[in-house]
Amino acid sequence: MRVPERFVDAFDCVVAPCSEGTIGVAVSGGSDSTALILIAKEWATACGRSVSAVTVDHGLRPESADEAASVGEFCKYLDISHQTSVWRGWDGNGNLQARARDARRSLISAWAHRNSISTVALGHTLDDQAETFLMRLARGSGVDGLAAMSSARKHSGINWVRPLLGIRREDLRSFLRENNVSWVDDPSNDNESFERVRWRTALAELSSLGLDAERLATTAEHMSRARETLEGVTEAFLKENAFQTGYGEVTLQTDEFPKVTEDLRLRVVSSILCCVSGQGYRPRFSALKALVKAIVEEPDLPGASLHGCVVRKRKAGVIFRREPSSVSPDVPAVIGCWDSRWTWDLEQVPDGATVGAIAPDELPQVKSDLQIRLPRELLLTLPALRLDGRLIATPVTGMDNQVRFALKPCQHGFNTMTIVR
């Protein structure tokens, strides 16, 4: 079987820069992912690399188990390792496609970590790019929402790559037909109760007016370049006007803040909120806009709350702290991360050790060992290592010098911010 050179080149362009070891491929059995596994096999053979595949069985149709087994047989024919991960989490409530997507990403991520795979390829095509653009346009998204899906993104310790974003779905299907390779058509792809399916149908109509998938994908790429520029301006402003302590709070100096455009103000505050809260998604636009307006216009801001953060206006600037009532519950210390913000270095984790927020009744013990004065509100958002209910260590105490806590680097323009320890 001869795989078109442009398919292999597209795969190499995206995968080669960020991959080491075995390449993981998510294969559903549909046309896009079936073509993807063949392209990956061709690329890996030429490079002397190996490929492993994973299929998520959502259990939503009686045929799903057999379809997953068929994918496994196909991978066996290609001499590719394959595993099936099963999801049985649908309870009939909420957005099915969103829930299934989140479950799929979680299961694939767990599979990759178990198998020491750092890069996973997904079969999204140029058609997916166009459909996503239309869906977000209908929701009133701005530049960021309309920007193209990234061909490579790191999340949960995995490099997620989309090598087929520049290729039409029909081109992949033509390749499969020419080589007598069959695929499974999921009936849900024709179910117009799903938003994406409705837009897929609409796209066929829009193409007759010149608004085809290629044109929409090009516009999404333009939006991506605009987003990159805006992110650079935001990062530069944060570097000069915002400062993060080693305890997770951020102070925004307000001398220059009212002078910049509203869009930049919104981006700055959103970035700070995401950093302080550890959340990867942005706050609601209406609430964000109201907070920015209050920061600019109100002389005092005694304690606004948004996105899991407390915001207070002081002479030194606007202080953003994690909200004590919003921190995560205790986790086993072996997990190595708490509240999506804190990690710790511990040579040997004692059995039964946990990490969670400093409790109010532990404050006297913590304060007695403090070298500097910190607000109670801040202390109640810091992590504490415990064993059998006994406080072992925190980031601000010296009770156990064998434990080192550290804030995870923010992904919202704070990598180059001044850190005051």
Q: Return the closest-CA partner of residue 292 out of 326, 320, 322.
A: 320
> Using alpha carbons only, how large is the chain's radius of gyration in Å?
25
Architecture of domain 226-324: Up-down Bundle (1.20)
Neighbouring CB atoms inside 10 A of 387's CB total 16
Q: Would you state the torsion angle of the CA atoms of residues 98, 184, 65, 90, taken in this order, to the nearest 10 degrees? A: 20
Q: What's the CATH class of domain 5-218?
A: alpha beta
For the entire predicted model, the pTM comes to 0.78
* Residues pairing with 320 in the sheet: 250, 311
- The alpha carbon dihedral of 344, 350, 351, 356 has a sign of negative
Q: How far apart are CA 150 and CA 10, in angstroms?
A: 14
Tens place of pLDDT for every residue, the chain, 421 residues?
889 999 999 999 999 988 778 999 999 999 999 999 999 999 999 999 999 999 999 887 888 899 999 999 999 999 999 999 998 877 767 677 777 888 888 899 999 999 999 999 999 999 999 999 999 999 888 899 899 999 998 877 889 999 999 999 999 999 999 999 999 987 766 677 778 889 888 888 898 888 999 999 999 999 999 999 999 999 999 999 999 888 999 999 999 999 999 999 999 999 999 999 988 788 999 999 999 999 999 988 888 999 999 999 988 799 999 999 999 999 999 888 899 899 988 777 888 899 999 999 999 988 877 766 889 999 999 999 999 989 988 998 755 567 889 888 775 445 344 333 2
Q: Which two tokens stand for residue 101?
A: 């997507």
Are 5-218 and 226-324 in the same CATH fold? no
**Got the DSSP string for 47-99?**
HT--EEEEEEE---STTHHHHHHHHHHHHHHTT-EEEEEE-----S-S-HHHH
Annotated domain spans of the chain: 5-218, 226-324, 328-407
Residue with the two structure tokens 């708490």 = 338
Which amino acid is it at 303? G
